[in-house]
A and B are shown apart, each in its own frame.
Chain A
């Protein structure tokens, strides 16, 4: 495999664990006071994590998403909203190469993560997912004990030391605001948890491997308002350590938690009767909801559509 792209692989493979956090100390443009931010929705907002450029995504011959371009910034919560079938989940799953698992899925255009092309031939999807974690719509705890669920990620990454694992499990469960509820039954099956607890366990499991980015695919859609609130608070608490991208159907949720919002919509071609998702508008959340530039966005956020 003597190919010139080898260097890009080395670039992604060799980022030391600590180096993925090296930008934490950079001055945060998001530190502008809340009120000013609405009035000053300038584009530049910190370190770009993902740069998606002219990307189309196919499942077989079906073009699910057409020509999406957006930039996601570090330590922000970016929300994807839009009606069903608009491709928000597809775009999200492209960001950590989860779509590789779908037979026939194909990505066209550029998707880069910290400047590295995610779809370069020699980039390992395993290395990518190690840094870019994902929380799914339906809580999916493994049929193991609560402890083993959280310790799963560290273990597959080679951590065997018992006290180190204990520490990681406690820290992750505390971050996910679940520690107090489960600390006395860590050995019990994770399948005995309620829906909200199970989802927080899945978040703890994701945080346990200390990812750089956490992708969330409608993490609260199956939860009651109290559990939803807990997860939203949690997202706001952890965003100074992680970068979060969340897909949501709930526009209030997007306004409550996100810094930037991308509105996706469905394009229908009446001639061939095909549908494809596309990015309509991407802006700081207050501007997208307060002063939408596109009529489709306006219709959606004011409840006249979708």
Chain B
């Protein structure tokens, strides 16, 4: 890197856990219900109501923490984070302060394109808390009217705080992609950023090399990023901004209070968010309405055993067992466990991992994208596609004809054999092909003359004619035979 600075990035990710009910009451967590219909005395903070922990949420949180290689303390407790806001009806959020349910883990990341070396991103802690409600500020027509929807209030959130270990926006994006993938494989969250199931806040500053030594710029927290792409762009923008600002002002870490900036998608810039005059004091103290939670060694072991094969292990296995490149393994694994299962069945069925990988990446993924469907809904089962690939491999059918067959299999839902029969595709006997080529050569003296003069390309005309007479001919074979016949003096 030629820049005279090092980028320091840490991420805080809030993940909504995939539970049916809320963190401390029985209300539904389903997204999209009419405002204030999924509430009860507990989650709207009625006087006298008390929280009761959702065991399932705690288990999902533990599962994630174990998968993130975290230490799981035997004892964890709840704390109250006190602040006033209209969408926080109790006046405090139940969270975890000094004894989180997990700490000191890591998530390995790598880039198949080689933009950075494989590395581990440290996880400081992952803890559980409840979500607040949603405020909608309508300042139209001069009437400042705020509306509050408490449906989300009390939804279980897992906050995953990374070490400031990322050194580029690309690493930050890779971390998020890998984290999301892991959460998908674990089945703990749907990670839908649009619905707010996954939210990212980034902390970033620069360590600038100067003749007097390294100087750190003030840390900025960036919020309001609605996609991983936005995170990457916001961080890129922030790197430029902080470096320019340092060049102009020389401001160092500690010179100014920590700033919060929001990403503005429209202008592709970060803008300062209204900072509160006084720094917030959340007056954390142990939540007296909940009892501490103890976790046993056996529980953690049971969870560890139940994790299944996680993305990193799966990537290595695909490379080793099916001979595909790290890049291909990455593409497949990143599509989720179901697609990997499809691929494995296909590769086993046709006996060629690379061929299977090419077809999945090109044809299958394209169709999934075009039709906006999941692999489970893909009309051609892996076994059916495997039989088609068998024929392609054996040269019984050409790759391009194979693609047409697959397209028809997808449309009609028929097997490869049925489609081939319907389309009248048969393998052309080699002696018949010899006869056809001889016939064409005799009818095209001009082509023959050109080829003899060394213009082998001219044979293309013969291939075209052959395909017209019989669509099932293998163009490569036609070319081969024609050149051979012409060369032999025909």
Does B associate with A?
no
